[in-house]
Amino acid sequence: QVQLVESGGGLVQAGGSLRLSCAASGRTFRMYCMGWFRQAPGKRREFVARSTSGGSTYYADSVKGRFTISRDNAKNTVFLQMNRLKPEDTAVYYCAADRMGYGSRSTYEYDYWGQGTQVTVSS
């Protein structure tokens, strides 16, 4: 069983930045695809970004150019740097892990989930 713990959420003004972190347990972190998803009130959970085990990164169109996903395999941690934040970025952000290593934009591909961290962007 893999445990994922997110941190770094908070309240920020529009145009500001936040950096989310997700620490994973276990010894096979480097083999996982790590993804970030978000869920706003009354909406479905949606894909934000993912980092495959092979080092490829993918982003939702809505965050491309503003958010950057990165990972430190030595520290079992994945990050989401969020710049030029907008009020529509307000959501609970979740970290997820896919044991197969490649992941996708679908929540169904991911085996483990964190508890989420709240990001609120004020206008």
Can you give the pLDDT at residue 1? 85
Whose CA is closest to 71, among 116, 121, 31? 31
- Residue 27 — very low, low, confident or very high, per pLDDT cuts 50/70/90? confident
Phi, psi dihedrals of residue 111, rounded to the nearest 5°: -95, -30
pLDDT tens-digit readout, 89-111:
999 999 999 998 888 899 999 99
pLDDT tens-digit readout, 35-76:
999 999 999 999 999 999 999 999 999 999 999 999 999 999
